[in-house]
Structure 1
Amino acid sequence: MATLEQCRTALDQLATKLATNAEAGGRLDFNRTLACQVPDLQAAFHGRLENGKIVDLTDGDDPRAKIKMIINSDDLLELVAGTLDAGKAFASGRLKIKASVMDLLKLRKLL
């Protein structure tokens, strides 16, 4: 099981990856609140997506977040490292994302 600090680092790396993908894809009008729950560590993080970039990422949950990601710590590290495909993880249940269909489509472009 990964540590809480490793998960924080992985989320920071994910934020960088999303920002790079958002810039490569051109202007993306995608502004939502975001929460990530890590059940095996009983931890959560939250922040905002602004034009496809994660900003203000902090500890704690946001029950009103428009996009909620639920993933175990090891799976989070694998996802960010690129050894776990987001689509396959979502299909197998290793990654759960609660969001509107339109938000899922926009998020897919970033991952």
Structure 2
Amino acid sequence: MATTEQCREALEQLSRNLAGTGGEVRKATSLDRSLSCHLTDLATSFTGRLQDGALTGITENPGPPPTKAEIRLTMTSDDLVALVAGRLSFAPAWATGRIKLEAGLRDLLRLKSLL
């Protein structure tokens, strides 16, 4: 099981990765949406904003997210770390239920290029 610090580092790395993209990926991440990532095994959530192609204002909260974000992810800490490190592919993990993604239909359509 990954630690909360490892998960925070993974989210910060994800933000750097997103900020360095271009083309369709950059377009897909240029949303301005609230985002939450609930880590079921740690009973912890990280919240922030997906804004201008980066994650900003990342905060840690005990338990489930305190408010309903516009884009919601649920997974284990190990899956978050593996996903960001490139050892876990999002599409198969999402299709098998390892990772849950909830968002409005428009946002899902825009984010599909990331899958």
TM-score by length of 2: 0.85
Aligned to 1:106: 110
Aligned residues: 109
Letter in 1 for 2:7: C
Aligned to 1:25: 23
Secondary structure of the residue aligned to 1:49 is strand
TM-score by length of 1: 0.88
Shift of 1:102: 1.6
**Contact 1:18/1:110 (<8 A) preserved:** no
Secondary structure of the residue aligned to 2:68 is coil
Aligned to 2:85: 81
More helix by share: 1
In structure 1, distance between residues paired with 2:4 and 2:19: 23
Letter in 1 for 2:15: A
Uncovered stretches (5+) of structure 2, i.e. residues with no partner: none
Percent identity reads 45
Deviating runs (4+, > 6 A) in structure 1?
Answer: none
Matches within 5 A, 1:2-17: 2-17=2-17
In structure 2, distance between residues paired with 1:107 and 1:16: 17
**Contact 1:31/1:49 (<8 A) preserved:** yes
Shift of 1:15: 1.1
Letter in 1 for 2:111: L
Secondary structure of the residue aligned to 2:74 is strand
Q: Deviations over 1:77-98 (max 9, x none)?
A: 1100101011111101111011
In structure 2, distance between residues paired with 1:49 and 1:2: 23
**Contact 1:52/1:110 (<8 A) preserved:** no
1:97 aligns with 2:101: yes
